[in-house]
Chain A
Amino acid sequence: QSALTQPASVSGSPGQSITISCTGTSSDVGGYNHVSWYQQHPGKAPKIMIYEVTNRPSGVSNRFSGSKSGNTASLTISGLQAEDEADYYCSSYTSGSTFRVFGGGTKLTVL
């Protein structure tokens, strides 16, 4: 069981917006702004999409945005495109013994 909880799957049509949630506790997501999001296509290494809750690395489309409320962080993808179909993982620093944790991952299907 992953430390952070994500929905197993979400879907949307091209052009639509979707949001993926990532729920933790006050020891990780709720207590720190060290939440990041990663995209992973099948057979490929992950790619960072968001860091420090809301920041986009250079080169990442502004269709990707992050937010946080309480113990839940969210990744929103607007204007869905076929190439967005992938697995998405959240991650957070934790004050627990594990130091850093990932969510279980969410499979995004573009219909």
Chain B
Amino acid sequence: EVQLVESGGHLVQPGGSLRLSCAASGFTFSNYWMSWVRQAPGKGLEWVANIKYDGTEKNYVDSVRGRFTVSRDNARNSMYLQMSTLRAEDTAVYYCARDAYPYAVDVWGQGTTVTVSS
């Protein structure tokens, strides 16, 4: 079964840092681009970042560029999102997602919740 499991979501103070992890199983992880997508409470979806199958290309939404870093370890079938200088507006459910079609997600994780508050 194809599965994505996120972890690492937590309550963190403004200005703090957090690292999210996504564990993939049931498919050849190293063949796929992967994305992070977030959803603030009661709001819509927002694409955050993605990473090429070999880790050589990364893209970010403007609001997180320079603060967030996406990475992957194909040997561990895992993707990560290192978040720093966190702001209240980063509060959201963060989904790990597989990009199977051009620029579209076919598999989503269950999400992990990040809350930025003092």
A interface residues (Cβ-Cβ under 8 A, vs B): 2, 34, 36, 38, 40, 45-48, 51-52, 55, 57, 87, 89, 91-93, 97-105
Q: Chain B at the A interface: mostly helix, strand, loop or mixed?
A: strand
The total of interchain contacts (Cβ-Cβ below 8 angstroms) comes to 69
The CA of A71 and the CA of B114, in the complex, are separated in Å by: 34
Q: Mark B29-49, 1 if CB is under 8 A from A, else 0.
A: 000000101000000111100
Which residues from chain B sit less than 8 Å from chain A, CB to CB? 35, 37, 44-47, 50, 59-62, 95, 101-106, 108-111
Report the Cα distance A40→B105, complex, angstroms: 13
Shortest beta-carbon contacts, A-B, top 9: A36-B104, A45-B108, A34-B103, A93-B103, A105-B44, A51-B104, A51-B101, A99-B59, A100-B47
Residues of A close to B103: CB separation below 8 A: 34, 36, 91-93, 100
Most-contacted residue by chain B among A36, A38, A100 (CB, 10 A): A100
Which A residues are in CB contact (< 8 Å) with B104? Answer: 34, 36, 48, 51-52, 91
Which of B61, B102, B105 touches A98 (beta carbons < 8 Å)? Answer: B61
Q: Are B45 and A89 in contact (CB under 8 A)?
A: yes
Q: Are A34 and B102 in contact (CB under 8 A)?
A: yes
Report chain A residues within 8 Å CB of B37: 46
